[in-house]
Structure 1
Amino acid sequence: MAASTTVTWEDAPGDEDPARRAAQIASLTGLRGFAALMVVLIHTSVLTEFSWLGVPEYGPVSLFVLSGFLLYRPWARWGMRTGSRPDVLDFARRRLLRIFPAYLVVLLVVSVVYADDRPEGAREWFQAASLTWIYTTQDSVRNSLFQTWSLATELSWYVALPIMGGVAALAARRMDPRTGLRVTAALLCLSVPISFGYRRWVETEGLEDYLTYTLWLPAFLFCFAAGAMVTLLLEGERARLVRLTALRRVCEDRWALLVLAVAVALVGTSSVAGPDGFADIAYGEQQLRVSCAAVVAVLLLLVAVFGPPSGPVNRVLSAPWSNAIGRWSYGIYLWHLPVVVVLERDLTFTDGLGGLLWRLAMVLAVSVPLGAATYAWVERPTMAWARRRYPSTSPSRGRRVLDPPTAASSSTADQPSAATADTQRRRSPEA
């Protein structure tokens, strides 16, 4: 999932001043943290009479949208002839090293602590360790690690992206740049009928193990493509192929997109989108629910990318505590559900608002420190090792992670100054 995606200096457009770019990176990191907290909220509130609390589907959908935005950029640049051809081997290596070390640590710890959800036999261990369990029967699902379905979906996106991005870029490079951008945008738009056509096919076929089919990449391809579309527009503007005057004008309004996002979220949580919680809902209700979540995710991404740093949303997203949660979000995402399951087994909670608040306090009190420890002791050392072991050779790479919201001066539009690069090198290398 996009919670495992590192936000780097190049994840903000190079034609902006350094302070603006650092602010945008901080907002993107905070947005990742917010999505992870929404996942925690949903999985906690559903155990209470407040199962309506939180926007259904928003957490994983938002992370998919963010992943599409961050990871599609090299292919967008290559298609527009503003960047070099992406190194697929380098991409795959970094993505695998970013996801699996922390995940395998959590899998082993949970298997020791909570024997009820321990995989049985070599086949189940392989499926759990390789994140391929969503392609098998529902019997292989482990309650304490069920949230990792989105990791498995994300992993399939990593496989599909070089193929889809490469084909689109090759087609675009055979045309004049503006036509190529339009063709690429049209190809991204095809993800909408593909996703909802696939969802309808799963519904009408009455497939055995219905649940697992609904978790596969085709069902969420439009979410990744929506984030990729934002990247395409951003890079198109940077290459002077498209003007985003109207979009920027709307995004510069401090409240417009936030109010719209709240309105869409209210529709997604209303009775029109089905009953609260994880109850079975009708096909139309499910599609409305996931569509509302995707729209909210895209709106907040647009605010983070195009909105003013001083706006209310970006001020919250770029706050130091929000950025800390963003950096630890992958670990929080991995640990929170096992924590929820164990607490429900061992503790008795009261009903009402007090029970909800006590659950949330307990889950966060355990999950956040575990997430921070996982980032410090597993994720960050792995990223440092990966950078030393597999240094980037492409001139369009050589990136460094900026620990937002630290702003630094830049000697050029696209590259930090030597002092900035040295500071970033000492802090947190790119995944």
Structure 2
Amino acid sequence: MAPHSSAPEDRDVHVPSRAADPRLVLPQVDGRHEALDGIRAVAALMVLVFHVASETGEALAPGVHGGLLASLDLAVPLFFALSGVLLYRPWARAALDGVRGPRARPYLWRRAARVLPAYWVVAVAALLVYAEDEIDSPRHWWEVLTLTFPFNTDPSWFGTGPYGLGQMWSLSVEVSFYLLLPLFGLLLALWARRGRSVDARGTRLLAGLAVMAVLGLAALVPQFHPEPHAYMHTWLPRTMGLFAAGMALAVLSEWAWREPGADGPVRRFCRTVAASPGVCWLLAGGFFVLNATDAAGSRFIGSGDIWTSAVHSLTGIGFAFFLVAPAALAPRPASAPVPLRRAAAWRDGRWMEALLRHRVCQFLARISYGVFLWQFMVLYLWRDFTGQEIYTGSFWLDAVPVTAGTILFAMATHRWVEEPSRRWSHRFFQRGAGAPKV
């Protein structure tokens, strides 16, 4: 989904000193976080396979196989949780220290420079290829290019977005979160400020994030009552708990560095979770399986009732939290990852680091935004080429060429759009007086 570096937004990080090297035992809070990058790669592949399985009808087939393929839509909560942990970190740090948070304007410009250029390339391509009936509509172009089309309550398209852009509803949710994050950070900081100690402020931040998650569940009430409004499924309020799960991990990782005493409960919690990836991922797998059942609703996005939607939201929160937590709370790696082919990689929970820091995962993480952006365009072009109708075709015969084509387009976008935009934003903000480093 939307690209953001696994390094914190504000890299001028002050880390309290400890007697021993704290980087070996406390969560990594600065620099590039390769394990979180690896999770982004996993999420990108999950959402790609989910869409291929849905479009071929494989994910809609009754039984365990179809249910598990449909449950791959939990990739979206992963993306949202990653945004929460990585982007909220500077505000969490400031709130715990009782100081002013990051400036909103540089942060928002950085987000725009990272997200919009590549999206515009794909959006224009989709509009030119597939939007013949809307090609002369300024309103349609405006809604698509500004990612406001999910707020059209009477759209001309079927599903979650214009043809070729059906996945972009989640990017619209991401952008809504980006825009409101400074406000969320301010409100949480004002609430936390009443705490007189770091522990009190940390407790208040977690309580505030719990309220945020409850409000996300409460947003289901106007979505379904007095009558269902399927389009509200693609709005931010319903997903606030997913972002809050990641934001809570940001609070815990920063809190661990500031907790008084030699070895407090927050540090022990972070250390235990980081050392238990197998248990955490097993719990995440439980939520994944629950999401594959009828308890989480039907296999069409936005369908179901208020109760199945609540279960779907809770399974997303649980899945994202337990999958991301061991990586988000892990210390900075002291060495290169152990190759998976060696027995040492499978001892002491090192397999997760070996997997997520593998060069294939790191490569896919770099191009993950392009993989997210291009997948429907490539899928539909392939379907046009083969003459397939929707919900037909072979999952495997479609998955291989669509994945290969999507990766090629993503590589091109990363090289010629994303990287130049990133370099431009770095130069621009380094010239700006008082602008934080990126």
Same fold (TM over 0.5): yes
Give the Cα–Cα distance (whole angstroms) in 2 for the partners of residues 125 and 231 of structure 1: 37
Give the Cα–Cα distance (whole angstroms) in 2 for the partners of residues 54 and 271 of structure 1: 11
Tell me which residue corresponds to 1:27: 35
User: Given the alignment, which residue of 58, 61, 79 partners 2:95?
Assistant: 79
1:391 aligned counterpart, secondary structure: helix
Tell me which residue corresponds to 1:293: 316
5+ long unaligned stretches in structure 1: 400-431
Q: How much does 1:398 deviate?
A: 2.8
Give the Cα–Cα distance (whole angstroms) in 2 for the partners of residues 398 and 23 of structure 1: 12
Q: Is 1:228 the equivalent of 2:247?
A: yes
Tell me which residue corresponds to 2:340: none
Name which of structure 1's ranges 290-299 and 242-251 shifts more when overlaid on structure 2.
242-251
Deviations 1:271-304 (A, max 9, x none): 3323445583333222212321221111111121
CA contact (8 A) 2:85 2:250 kept: yes
Deviations 1:371-404 (A, max 9, x none): 11111111111110111111187999535xxxxx
Tell me which residue corresponds to 2:339: none
Could you say if the C-alpha distance between residues 105 and 383 of structure 1 is closer, same or farther in structure 2, counting changes exceeding 3 Å? Answer: same
CA contact (8 A) 1:13 1:235 kept: no
Give the Cα–Cα distance (whole angstroms) in 1 for the partners of residues 254 and 426 of structure 2: 26
Deviations 1:158-196 (A, max 9, x none): 121101201221342343132222222111110122111
Q: Is 1:256 the equivalent of 2:276?
A: no
Deviations 1:236-287 (A, max 9, x none): 1111256231442243134211222112211111233234455833332222
Q: How much does 1:232 deviate?
A: 0.5
Give the Cα–Cα distance (whole angstroms) in 2 for the partners of residues 383 and 370 of structure 1: 18
Q: Is 1:326 the equivalent of 2:365?
A: yes
CA contact (8 A) 1:56 1:293 kept: no
Q: Is 1:312 the equivalent of 2:320?
A: no
Q: How much does 1:227 deviate?
A: 0.5
CA contact (8 A) 2:206 2:251 kept: yes
Give the Cα–Cα distance (whole angstroms) in 2 for the partners of residues 119 and 65 of structure 1: 35
Name which of structure 1's ranges 31-40 and 115-124 shifts more when overlaid on structure 2.
115-124
User: Given the alignment, which residue of 122, 130, 153 partners 2:173?
Assistant: 153
Give the Cα–Cα distance (whole angstroms) in 1 for the partners of residues 3 and 32 of structure 2: 18
Q: Is 1:212 the equivalent of 2:231?
A: yes
Could you say if the C-alpha distance between residues 244 and 20 of structure 1 is closer, same or farther in structure 2, counting changes exceeding 3 Å? Answer: closer
CA contact (8 A) 1:65 1:225 kept: yes
Name which of structure 1's ranges 341-350 and 285-294 shifts more when overlaid on structure 2.
341-350
In structure 2, what residue type is equivalent to 1:25? Answer: H
User: Given the alignment, which residue of 356, 361, 379 partners 2:395?
Assistant: 356
Could you say if the C-alpha distance between residues 45 and 296 of structure 1 is closer, same or farther in structure 2, counting changes exceeding 3 Å? Answer: same
Name which of structure 1's ranges 381-390 and 250-259 shifts more when overlaid on structure 2.
250-259
Give the Cα–Cα distance (whole angstroms) in 1 for the partners of residues 147 and 238 of structure 2: 17
Give the Cα–Cα distance (whole angstroms) in 1 for the partners of residues 114 and 155 of structure 2: 28
2:167 aligned counterpart, secondary structure: helix
Give the Cα–Cα distance (whole angstroms) in 1 for the partners of residues 401 and 27 of structure 2: 37
User: Given the alignment, which residue of 44, 64, 83 partners 1:67?
Assistant: 83
User: Given the alignment, which residue of 170, 189, 192 partners 1:169?
Assistant: 189
1:4 aligned counterpart, secondary structure: coil
Could you say if the C-alpha distance between residues 392 and 32 of structure 1 is closer, same or farther in structure 2, counting changes exceeding 3 Å? Answer: farther
Tell me which residue corresponds to 1:347: 386
CA contact (8 A) 1:80 1:180 kept: yes
Q: How much does 1:313 deviate?
A: 2.5
Could you say if the C-alpha distance between residues 4 and 131 of structure 1 is closer, same or farther in structure 2, counting changes exceeding 3 Å? Answer: same
5+ long unaligned stretches in structure 2: 16-21, 60-65, 334-344
Percent identity between matched residues is 26
Q: Is 1:42 the equivalent of 2:50?
A: yes
2:101 aligned counterpart, secondary structure: coil
Q: How much does 1:305 deviate?
A: 2.1
TM-score by length of 2: 0.82
User: Given the alignment, which residue of 62, 67, 90 partners 2:106?
Assistant: 90
Q: Is 1:16 the equivalent of 2:23?
A: yes
Q: Is 1:369 the equivalent of 2:408?
A: yes
Give the Cα–Cα distance (whole angstroms) in 2 for the partners of residues 155 and 347 of structure 1: 35
Could you say if the C-alpha distance between residues 110 and 349 of structure 1 is closer, same or farther in structure 2, counting changes exceeding 3 Å? Answer: closer
Give the Cα–Cα distance (whole angstroms) in 2 for the partners of residues 129 and 268 of structure 1: 33
Alignment root-mean-square deviation, CA: 3.1
Tell me which residue corresponds to 2:6: 7
Q: Is 1:303 the equivalent of 2:329?
A: no
Tell me which residue corresponds to 2:62: none
Could you say if the C-alpha distance between residues 16 and 395 of structure 1 is closer, same or farther in structure 2, counting changes exceeding 3 Å? Answer: farther
Q: Is 1:268 the equivalent of 2:291?
A: yes
Deviations 1:86-109 (A, max 9, x none): 011111110111111001111112
Tell me which residue corresponds to 2:148: 132
Tell me which residue corresponds to 1:398: 437
Give the Cα–Cα distance (whole angstroms) in 1 for the partners of residues 372 and 300 of structure 2: 19
Could you say if the C-alpha distance between residues 358 and 352 of structure 1 is closer, same or farther in structure 2, counting changes exceeding 3 Å? Answer: farther
In structure 2, what residue type is equivalent to 1:297? Answer: A
2:84 aligned counterpart, secondary structure: helix
Could you say if the C-alpha distance between residues 80 and 103 of structure 1 is closer, same or farther in structure 2, counting changes exceeding 3 Å? Answer: same
